[in-house]
Structure 1
Amino acid sequence: MENHNIMLTSSEISNLWANYASDTMSICVFKHFLAHIEDTEIKHILEHAIDLSKQHVAIIADIFKNEGIAVPIGFTDEDVNLKADRLFSDTFYLHYVKNMTKGGLATYGAILPNVFRNDIREYYMSCISSTMELFNDTSKTLISKGLEVRAPYIPYPKEVDFVEKQSFLAGWFGEQRPLTGMEVTHLYTNIQTNKLGESLCLGLAQVTKQKEVKNYLLRGVEIAQKHIAHFSKYLQSDFLPVPMTWSENVTTSKEAPFSDKLIMFHIGITSSVGMGNYGVAMSLSPRRDLTTMYAKLLGEVGLYAEDGANINIKYKWMERPPQAADRDELTKG
């Protein structure tokens, strides 16, 4: 990276900081996955994923050191137990990477418009490019193994048509129109992400020793199951297929591969991604009953995430992110 005299903006420093924390977590997770992987094709995907995370961590650490910014602790070898038994199957690993790359692409795409310094912009452009490559490799592997779950099919439009009635937006009462392709897409996507979250929470609940964390994870399982039921109901009402479950990809291991600090951070990221997905789905679903549902479920996930943050604060697991100067405190006395 080139040296610059221009200071980092709030958006640049905060996103790099969050990026560093997330990638140090990913390194720990992928290390444990690689310690138990059997499928050579999936192993290649995991090696690619951990290599990208290591590159990101090294680049961000250099930027912070050059700027005189404290490098976050994030997560280290103390947060992963490579001797712990396998907790998830090889198939789960592949679905996990696919969903992490989807989240990464959405995150990097949102960050890039708010980046101003050339070196930081080039870094995030490279992140998007390399994550697209990993996403493509993972998708091709899922398809070649017959593991990819395609979104439902709908009829091809044969002619151009226009909406003529306000009932196109209805949904609470009376006759409901069929789901649009975009509505189907987001219902399907949110079922997929909630199924991954359900399996993740279920597996991690088996191994954590902290009762408060265990109860929090089991609550996450219940929320995911409830949300899956909501989304599935809409697909089934239009006779569309519901994606398969991944719960069988959780082993019976009781040995913790990760620290409770890492587990809670991971679930926090999952919740954040879920809220982002619901927000996008709500903005692209014209039917009023769908927007109302998404708003209600988004609020529930928000409360869940807040309770998770309180647990992190209670056990001193949350590093303070970069923030504006506290002028009230500075002007006292």
Structure 2
Amino acid sequence: MTTGHIPITSSELSTLWIIYQKKTMMVRVIEFFLSNNQDAEAIEILQTFHEGESNFVNELRNIFTQEGAAVPIGFTENDVNLNAPKLFDDIFEVMYLRMMMKVASGLHALHISMSYRKDIMDLYKRFSAFAEDTCEKTTQFLLSKGVLPKSPVVTLPNHVEFAEKKNYRSGFKITGHRRSLNTVEVAYLYQAIESNVDGMKLMTGFAQVAKKKDIRDYFFRGKELSKTIITKSSEILLDSDINPPSTPAGRVTDSTVSTFSDKLMMYNTSLLNTFGFGSNAIGTTFSLRKDLPLKMIPIAKDVFDFANDGGDLMIEHGLLEEPPQMEDRTQLSKGQSK
């Protein structure tokens, strides 16, 4: 039986490092939202999240210290200007939090499967529960405001069917009947549109307040990429007589005063790129109509190229904090160190 301290593994260290970056970023963003939000119910949701996320950051910091590892820098008070004018309206601030809780839920589910120590697995369980609870609160808030479009109601099946002909997967018929989308395909298309509507507004705000021109241009490019994804996904829905989701809510103000550091906004964009790329891949995998993956694959390439260029841009401007490195055995054997 193993006794004493169980060393942390490389995968556990890496996931804790990733989550520390994300949570310190979220603390700063929500801190700014709380400085100017006027909706009492929204403030309560944001305040509860900020307190819980701040406590998690302290727990993570303690783990790094106890393990003898350097505490990451992450994001600090230097990455947010609390005196800047409001950048997004009250509704969008809650939309943003909901969007980020989708990302968090996916990360925590993955990271618990990459952990071995019970205390770290328990930590991710609490992270997941907190993210899911916040997602529920933000969803119900937006529904109560009438600003969150739901996916369409469908006639419930009264029997089970199996695909008997190969043309079930066909989407290329020029004449004749092309089968309508199934509910799985609709669900992922709705997800893509909803996420990119939020992403488009976020990129618009970031482009207005970024300090460096090439970074402003990058966010503008991200806005245009989101618009392309929204357009292509909406066309697929409309082809099956399904209205794409839309909402007039969630406004970007006309502020051009630096709100967040370029580092924070670039990292936030990188995180959403990863989430978008993964969601696109999953949606393509579950699609049974052959034409849909062919339409989505070029978009996936555009997202990949956008993310890759963002990484280069972060390195160019010294905005990319390096994750913990594995030992370089070649250098060590030569008596050298970094």
TM-score, structure 2 length as denominator?
0.94
SS in 2 for 1:195: helix
Q: Which amino acid aligns with 2:65?
A: K
Q: Does residue 84 of the first structure (1) align with residue 84 of the second (2)? A: yes
CA–CA distance in 1 between the matches of 2:294 and 2:60?
40
CA distance in 2 between partners of 1:328 and 1:264 (Å)? 34
Residue type of the partner of 2:87? L
Q: CA deviation at 1:120?
A: 0.1
Match of 1:270 in 2: 272
- Of residues 245, 253, 259 in structure 2, which corresponds to 1:251? 253
- Mapped to 2, the partners of 1:321 and 1:173 lie a distance apart of 49
Q: Aligned Cα RMSD in Å?
A: 1.6
Worse-matched range after superposition: 323-332 or 58-67: 323-332
Number of equivalences: 331
Higher deviation after alignment, 15-24 or 52-61: 52-61
Residue of 227, 232, 235 corresponding to 1:225: 227
Aligned to 2:37: 37
The 3-state SS of whatever aligns with 2:162 is coil
| Range moving further from structure 2, 115-124 or 150-159 | 150-159
Query: CA shift at 1:247, angstroms?
Result: 7.6
List alignment gaps of at least 5 residues for structure 1: none
User: 1:194 and 1:245, CA in 2 relative to 1: closer, same or farther beyond 3 A?
Assistant: same
1:178-206 CA distances to partner (integer Å, 9 max, x unpaired)?
11101000000100111111000001111
1:120 maps to a residue whose letter is I
1:280 aligns with 2:277: no
- Write the letter of the residue equivalent to 1:260: D
Q: Specify the alignment match of 2:236 in structure 1.
A: 234
Shift of 1:270: 1.1
For residue 54 of structure 1, what is the aligned residue in structure 2? 54
Question: What is the aligned partner in structure 2 of residue 131 from structure 1?
Answer: 131
Bigger mean CA deviation after superposition, 164-173 or 310-319: 164-173
Deviation at 1:248, TM superposition (A): 5.7
Q: What is the CA-CA distance between 1:173 and the residue it aligns to?
A: 4.0
1:6: which partner in 2? 6
User: 1:8–1:124: structure 2 CA closer, same or farther, 3 Å change rule?
Assistant: same
Q: Does the CA-based 8 Å contact 2:147-2:249 persist in structure 1?
A: no
Unaligned runs of 5+ in 2: none
Indicate the residue corresponding to 2:327 in structure 1: 325
Supply the distance in 1 between the matched residues of 2:154 and 2:236 (Cα, whole angstroms): 15
Residues 217-261 of structure 1: CA distance to partner in whole angstroms, max 9, x if unpaired?
000011110111110001111111111155861001111110111
Identity among equivalent positions (%) equals 34
Q: How does 1:193-204 map to 2 (within 5 A)?
A: 193-204=195-206
Alignment partners' CA distance in 1, 2:241 and 2:107: 33
Q: CA distance change for structure 1 residues 60 and 28 in 2, over 3 Å: closer, same or farther?
A: same
Q: Report SS of the residue matched to 2:96.
A: helix
Q: Which amino acid aligns with 1:207?
A: V
Question: Which secondary structure state, in structure 2, belongs to the residue aligned with residue 132 of structure 1?
Answer: helix
- Cα distance in 1 between the residues matched to 2:188 and 2:250: 24
TM-score, length-normalised on structure 1?
0.95
* 8 A Cα contact 2:287 2:293, kept in partner: yes
Cα separation, 2, equivalents of 1:132 and 1:72: 26
2: CA distance between counterparts of 1:315 and 1:105? 30
1:311 corresponds to which of 313, 316, 327: 313
